[in-house]
Structure 1
Amino acid sequence: MRFLPVLLLSAAAAAQAAPNEALKPMAFLAGHCWKGEFPGGKQTDEHCFQWLLDGHALRDTHTVRAPGKPDYVGETLYYYDSAAGQVAYLYVENSGGHSRGTMKPSDTGLDFPETRFIAGGKELPYRAHWTTAPDAYEAVNEMYLKDKWVTQFKMLLRKQ
């Protein structure tokens, strides 16, 4: 019984562990869900972020919902790649597609440089930028199609 307070204090300290220094630009996302509507208002996208492994990783579980369709669900795990000296991520979605990429903080938010989404044996180059604001961020995703970058979507996601 004497060890119970020590265990409780240890658990509380772990839950409040500071994130890895390289992940701090993403700290505002952690512990919250963020929701936005795709252009046209017929689909929503919700991202929920939580720290993992004492702040060494950040999980983003996202769900795209559209009336009459099954949910599209994906998980991203952000972590500090010490060999490369940068934040990296692995994304996997419920249809089997995946990608690996990096995140770099910028003056206006977070940059996700060009990488490849792979599904069904095909690759799609894409990149993104999130412009941050209090209680919201705007995501701009671009795809490389027919020798040029094309905006896939712009979406404002608000803290829920």
Structure 2
Amino acid sequence: MKRVKNASLLMLSALCIVLLTAAIPVGKSEPVKPENLQKAMASLKVASADGNISYKELKTIATEAKGAKLTLKERIGLKLFGKKITSKTDAPFTGANAAGKSQLIALILCFFLGGLGIHRFYLGYTWQGVVQLLTLGGCGIWALIDFIRIITGDLQPKYEDYETTL
């Protein structure tokens, strides 16, 4: 009984992988027409004016841009990544977070607390900061690389440039 359960679970997960990847051939897709894209961008600006875009509005805008009905994969992707799409339409920083970041502060944080990833939090890379915190900066190697990248100016804040540089 346990083998049957494991086999059915394995088959179900394989089926999900096949359905959610590009393994299923799709008919020829038409390129997005520029006029459809312009209409969709105008609709997106109107919908994002209040700062909130619902899934229904996003689906309507995507359908308008494509010029045809969305496929299952496209609807799933829109549902999964809808919040990221809407956050990209708004200004990344507003209010108190609008203050620029200093390259010197990032360098000092990386030098003293690089193993904890505090400089990544400061620069706006929260998930990378969490990973660095859990791995102690990749045993120091990742922190050293970040230190060099900050000195050279290659590691910038997430949504902006440094306000003050070295």
TM value normalised by structure 2: 0.20
Higher Cα radius of gyration: 2
> Whose helix fraction is larger, Structure 1's or Structure 2's?
2
